[in-house]
């Protein structure tokens, strides 16, 4: 149910006439490229490539400003986390894992389940202009991805089966976080 209203809200925001758009001097692709570059320059873990390829998957006409890009990053993160939950459930029932891996996966499942709720809260906070709160919640989701990964690193020979999922969730949240920080700079200047 929340998912439906979320999409509705997103659609409403993106199509609202009050939704500020950049002038024709900058195309959507320029904004995408500039934003990803600026964020990559500000952080060593931020991936310019993930940023560019992730945000390019959406219709160009929607990516016309920073607010839109931040929302899209959060929507992608939500989609990613939701898909990861199904992946974890599949792994848990595959019968191919030892008790240590199963315990780690159970922990990750809890982390991802609450990450989904936190992402929805972060989006809500962002939409009402509470950038500071959105920032805190996105950071919490990134920590969840890191905690999941670290659960497996306790045993050296054990490769985390959710490496890709953790990485993607971390990067997508980092994109939203960076854009929200850029927006906060604009607000305060």
Ligand X SMILES: *[C@@H]1O[C@H](CO)[C@@H](O)[C@H](O)[C@H]1NC(C)=O
Summarize as ranges the residues that interact with ligand X (CB under 6 A): 50, 54, 76, 79-80, 83, 168, 172
Nearer Cβ to ligand X (14/172): 172
Nearer Cβ to ligand X (113/184): 113
Minimum Å gap between C-beta 95 and ligand X is 24
Residue nearest to ligand X (CB): 54
CA 176/CA 157 separation, integer angstroms: 33
C-alpha pair distances (Å), 2 with each of 8, 60, 64, 78, 121 = 10, 26, 26, 12, 11
Minimum Å gap between C-beta 138 and ligand X is 15
Minimum Å gap between C-beta 55 and ligand X is 8
Structure tokens at 162: 């959710």
CA 105/CA 163 separation, integer angstroms: 12
Structure tokens at 7: 């999409």
Nearer Cβ to ligand X (76/162): 76
Minimum Å gap between C-beta 34 and ligand X is 19
CA 53/CA 32 separation, integer angstroms: 10
Minimum Å gap between C-beta 21 and ligand X is 24
CA 149/CA 123 separation, integer angstroms: 24
Burial code (b: 16+ CB inside 10 Å, e: under 16) for 94-121 equals eeeeeeebeebbeebbebbeebbebbbb
Nearer Cβ to ligand X (54/65): 54
Nearer Cβ to ligand X (20/164): 164
């Amino acid at each position: 149910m929340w998912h439906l209203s979320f999409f509705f809200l997103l659609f409403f925001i993106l199509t609202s006439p009050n939704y500020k758009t950049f002038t024709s001097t900058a195309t959507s692709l320029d904004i995408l490229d500039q934003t990803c570059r600026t964020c990559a320059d500000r952080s060593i873990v931020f991936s310019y490539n993930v940023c560019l390829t992730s945000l390019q998957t959406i219709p160009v006409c929607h990516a016309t400003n920073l607010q839109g890009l931040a929302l899209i990053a959060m929507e992608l993160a939500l989609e990613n986390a939701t898909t990861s939950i199904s992946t974890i459930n599949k792994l848990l029932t595959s019968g191919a894992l030892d008790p240590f891996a199963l315990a780690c996966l159970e922990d990750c499942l809890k982390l991802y389940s609450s990450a989904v709720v936190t992402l929805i809260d972060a989006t809500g906070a962002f939409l009402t202009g509470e950038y500071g709160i959105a920032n805190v919640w996105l950071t919490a989701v990134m920590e969840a991805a890191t905690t999941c990964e670290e659960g497996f690193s306790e045993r050296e020979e054990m490769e985390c089966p959710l490496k890709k999922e953790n990485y993607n969730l971390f990067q997508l949240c980092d994109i939203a976080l960076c854009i929200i920080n850029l927006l906060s700079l604009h607000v305060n200047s």
